[in-house]
Each structure stands twice: as structure tokens, then as C-alpha cells.
Amino acid sequence: MPQVAVERSGNVAVVTITNPPRGYMDTATVAELDAATADLERDEAVRAVVITGGVPGVFIRHYSVRELEALARQLRERGIAVDPARPLPPRDIDRVFGRLEEMPKPVIAAINGFAMGGGFELALCCDLRIAEEGPYELGLPEVRLGILPGAGGTQKLPALVGVARALELTLRGRTVAPPEARDLGLVHELVPPGRALDRAHELAAELASLPPRAVGHIKRLVRASAAAGRADGLALERTLFLDLLLSDDALERMSRMNTDDRDIRDA
């Protein structure tokens, strides 16, 4: 069953993560996002993009830890080792997230529920983040599994909240409720329950009505100002992520989480 649906309305396209397994991102999700975002990037009729979750109360809960555990076991069996001095090349997820940041069209996250780990890293790729009130959390809890945010989180979070606060959040693996996320600057607006998509669509329509060349140039310049040196940081991040993923401690923690069906925040 497809995991990603795209609906166009005028100059705005809405990408909905419709059916991720238990709300988790996995390889199939990434592949469908890759195809969908590449198509939207090429479509000159689309001037703004909204991304939201299709599972009630879930944007994307986080990346599938079952898939990460399986990958770790497979690579360990093959004797794969990581040398931090030799950064890994970009992966499919890096290409997708990079496209969202680099396309000249504004991208807005309509966060309608849990957005942790890779789900929150997806939101961080978007230019604007609208979150609705509700009993869910956002953040990067990967350290609890003995790994780290490996899809841009360590490089993008400091740009939002500063190095000191980013360290506090990532070292503790602390996730926060929507009001604190707004206060910290993790999201731009907090709206009533059920209103995230509507508000994101309103903003997307506003941006789509503006001169597209000017919007694209502004996005490019502002992104470039914040991304100086980021390429090297992202390369090191994904390298050290794999180094941790292959460790005994991470494998034990992921296995325990998956075996006991724990929440990632309690891993």
C-alpha cells in the first residue's frame, strides 16, 4: 500500500504521509518521498509544498528502529567498520532532505502529531513549521538508543536554538510538547487541534502568490547563510551515526526496544 499521497490545489501541493508502518518512516517511505518531491520540484505549476502526516496524532513518529537494528546486524555480519576520517557518501534520505532545503519553492511542515528522530529531522528540512496543540512530543531522542540523530539533526538544530540549547536537548534525548517547542523556536506557530494543515495551506497559498523567482532567490540566500560548512558536518554526522549503529551498546538497546515493543523515549 502506498505510503505517500500528493494532492495539488492551485499552486500548492500537499504531501501526506498516509500509511507509514505504525507511524514510522522506513526505506519505502523515503523512496516514495524521493519520487514525490522530485516530481514537485520539476512541476512549474507548483509554487509551494506542504508536508503533513496522515495517521491521526502522528506526523512521522520516528525512523523504524526495527529497520535500523536489521541494518546494524547485516553490516556487522559483513564486517563493516567505520573510519571517521573517511566520511560516508550521501544516502537516499540525505538526497530527499537536501532537495526540500534546496528547491526554490517554500516547504511547510504541518505537524499534526508525534515528530521525533527522523520525523523531526524531516520537519527541520522544511522552511516553516506549523504545529497543532495536542498530547504529543517533538525532538531527537536517539541518544537513548546509543546512536545519534543521523539525518541532519545535529547540524540543523543548533541553527534554530543555538549550540547550548541544542546540546541540552540532544545529549539528554529530551523531547518536548508543542507549547515548549514553540517557545524554544522549534516551530514557528502553534494552532488549535486539527488546524495545522489548514494553517500551513494558508501560508503556502500566500507564498505561492508572491513572485516565484524572488521567493526562490530569498530562500537560496537565507539557506546558504545558515549552511556555511554544513556539508562537512552532515558528512561527519552520517559517518558517526553508522559507527554508533554498529556498536554493541546500540544493537542491545535497539533489540531491547524492539523485543519489548517500547517507546523510543523509554529505550
Catalytic residue among 101, 132, 137, 142: 142
Known catalytic membership, residue 142? yes
Residue count (the chain): 267
Rounded Cα gap, residues 130 and 124, in angstroms: 11
With a CB cutoff of 8 Å and minimum separation 6, the contacts of 29 are 3, 4, 17, 20, 60
121 is catalytic: yes
Distance, CA of 153 to CA of 115 (rounded, Å): 12
Q: Which amino acid would we find at residue 199?
A: R
Residues 6+ apart with CB under 8 A from 99: 34, 37, 38, 41
- Enclosing H/E stretch for 210: none
Helix (H, G, I), strand (E, B) or coil at 3: coil
- Residue in 121, 132, 137, 237 annotated catalytic: 121
Q: Which residues of 236-252 are buried (b: 16+ CB within 10 A; e: fewer)?
A: bbbbbbbbbbbbeebbe
| Cα–Cα distance, 191 to 168 (Å, whole number) | 26
What CA–CA distance (Å, rounded) separates 133 from 111? Answer: 10
Q: For residues 237 and 178, give the distance between their C-alpha atoms in angstroms, rounded to a whole number.
A: 27
**Where in the sequence numbering do the catalytic residues fall?**
121, 142
